[in-house]
Amino acid sequence: MAPQPPGSVLELRAAGNESFRSGQYAEAAELYGRALDVLRQTGPANPEEESVLYSNRAACHLKDGNCTHCIKDCSVALSLVPFGIKPLLRRAAAYEALEKYQLAYVDYKTVLQIDCTLPAAHDGVNRMTKALMDTDGLEWRLKLPPIPSVPVAAQKRWEAAPGGDHEKADKSRLKEADTLKNKVPTGGDIERARALKEEGNELVKKGKHKEAVEKYTESLMFSSLESATYTNRALCYLSLKKYKEAVKDCTEALKLDSKNVKAFYRRAQAFKELKDYQSSLEDVNSLLSIEPENSAAAKLRQEVNRSLK
């Protein structure tokens, strides 16, 4: 007796997932479509499940190169559950494939408001920034559609979602600028890097450290030769309690400027928060050998010494 085809929403979704993993994208899309039909015919409305099915079908369309249908399904998914990370990323990729760089940029930036640790979104923003600068010049930001503001409730919803490997994402994102270190920046690259750094500085003044990190990261993609960009991003990481990232940025700054007082001080602060008091003390002492009258460093040394006792 032949096996019965899947009939429930969960069975159809599971079968679609299996077909997708096997590379049978058209078959998976058809199964997700059938699951949507069953879902609409049975029981009360379930926007979360419906949104997932549309997003999954969109992934099939994207794999098959049907970007228009991908965008349509992602938009429906987002209308059901606003600010879903997967449909935003899939729609951004579809817009990018269609060379609709402004719309892709908006979706990638929206994702970063929800989770600033996602390498795919950072990479997308960097690609779109370069593409838009090439096509529209330094005034490209003025031509962008408005970027929606993600409510805190939506951010918390996705932060609480299971299965997110944020530590792995953080490590991947911190490698972004490293890939361009062997590239000699052009005059235009340096100009763009400085403009982005200044945008980051303005965000810091407003207390928007998470957004400033994005600007500094974009800046470093164009030129990683300015130590101040690293120390500025380190300051943001300290405010965001991302101490390991702050240590890394200060170390990069010191490679460029071995007597960078801000880098020593901020790395010492980060080491202190990580309870690596010996390393913190070494950095404070290095700073005071450069600036013996630095009162903030002297105070920090006292605090670290107390912790060492």
Q: What is the pLDDT of residues 218-256, one digit of tens each?
A: 888 888 889 999 999 999 999 999 999 999 999 999 999
Helices (H) then strands (E): counts for the chain: 16, 0
Total residues found in the chain within this entry: 309
pLDDT digits (tens, 9 = 90+) for 15-25: 999 999 999 99
Percent of the chain clearing pLDDT 70 (strictly above): 86
- C-alpha distances out from residue 98 to 60, 132, 278, Å: 16, 14, 53
Amino acid, single-letter form, for residue 231 = T
Closest CA to 280 of 269, 294, 291, 289: 269
**Weakest-pLDDT range from 70-74, 153-157, 207-211:** 153-157
Whether 203 and 212 have beta carbons less than 8 Å apart is answered as yes
Sequence-distant (≥ 6) Cβ neighbours of residue 18 within 8 angstroms: none
pLDDT digits (tens, 9 = 90+) for 46-80: 889 999 999 999 999 999 999 999 999 999 999 99
Q: Which domains, ranges and CATH numbers included, belong to the chain?
A: 9-148 (1.25.40.10)
Measured distance CA(275)–CA(278) in Å, rounded = 9
Measured distance CA(13)–CA(33) in Å, rounded = 9
